[in-house]
């Protein structure tokens, strides 16, 4: 498992060469929405595979066609919580890896004047707090939406929380560490900074627009 970032102990950058290859293509302004979605599926699955190595398991006896053998199975239900709308674009790639995962939904958008999160939808499994929760959003910019999402999930009793983002800004990582220092963040890249409009530089543009072709 990769080590936490030297300057941000709550952050792990997944620098696997295949992940980085897909990220480079996602950044490219010439990449059309169809290709963007396909690459996003691939990178989301690859990232989840890398961070799910420590999920709790239980021993189980399995009868093969030849004999009884000892095996393992996941101990607790896994829940994915995409932050709408862009987060939904990462779900198919993760479900391809863990099809039994449940999917909660949290709708939050950023007010472009105040830069504060504005919630508009929430739907979670009744027992969402009973297992690990992967919070999914392509971009961690100011951190406002992610902090709000973690606040809401803690209110539901969640304690094993992990945040998966394609690209992070240092400002958002620092804000998350201040608000929720125990929550690990996993990303494909820690970018340079935010611009005056709180967009990540160099970033990859508006992920929602690029996923859904609404540029």
Q: What are phi and psi of 202, to 5 degrees?
A: -75, -25
Tell me the C-alpha distance between 136 and 140, whole Å.
10
Does 206 participate in catalysis according to the annotation? yes
What does the block give as tokens for 180? 């929720």
Select from 89, 145, 147, 90 the least CA-distant residue to 119.
145
Distance (Å, whole) CA 165 – CA 135: 9
Q: Give the Cβ contact number of residue 54 at 10 Å.
A: 8
- In a 10 Å sphere around its CB, with 0-12 CB exposed, 13-18 middle and 19+ buried, how is residue 67 labelled? exposed
Among residues 25, 38, 110, 177, which one is catalytic? 110
Question: Can you tell me the distance from the alpha carbon of 113 to that of 38, in angstroms, rounded to the nearest whole number?
Answer: 32
Contact status, residue 191 vs residue 165, Cβ threshold 8 Å: no
- CB-hemisphere CA count at 13 Å for 206? 11
Catalytic, 127? Answer no
Terminal-to-terminal C-alpha distance of the chain: 36
Is 209 a catalytic site residue? yes
Q: Are strands 139-140 and 133-136 parallel, antiparallel or unpaired?
A: unpaired
Catalytic residues: 110, 114, 206, 209
């Amino acid at each position: 498992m990769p080590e936490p970032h030297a300057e941000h102990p709550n952050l792990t950058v997944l620098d696997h060469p295949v992940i980085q290859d897909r990220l480079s293509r996602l950044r490219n302004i010439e990449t059309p929405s169809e290709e963007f979605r396909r690459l996003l599926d691939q990178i989301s699955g690859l990232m989840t595979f890398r961070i799910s190595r420590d999920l709790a398991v239980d021993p189980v006896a399995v009868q093969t066609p030849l004999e009884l053998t000892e095996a393992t199975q996941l101990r607790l239900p896994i829940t994915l919580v995409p932050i709408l709308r862009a987060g939904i674009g990462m779900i198919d790639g993760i479900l391809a890896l863990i099809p039994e995962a449940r999917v909660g939904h949290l709708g939050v958008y950023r007010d472009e004047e105040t830069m504060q999160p504005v919630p508009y939808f929430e739907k979670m499994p009744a027992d969402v707090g009973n297992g690990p929760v992967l919070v999914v959003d392509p971009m961690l910019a100011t951190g406002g939406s992610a902090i709000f999402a973690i606040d809401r999930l803690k209110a539901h009793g969640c304690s094993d929380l992990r945040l998966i983002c394609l690209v992070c800004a240092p400002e958002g990582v620092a804000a998350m560490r201040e608000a929720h220092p125990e929550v690990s963040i996993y990303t494909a890249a820690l970018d340079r900074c935010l611009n005056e409009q709180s967009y990540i530089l160099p970033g990859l543009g508006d992920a929602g627009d690029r996923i859904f072709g609404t540029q």
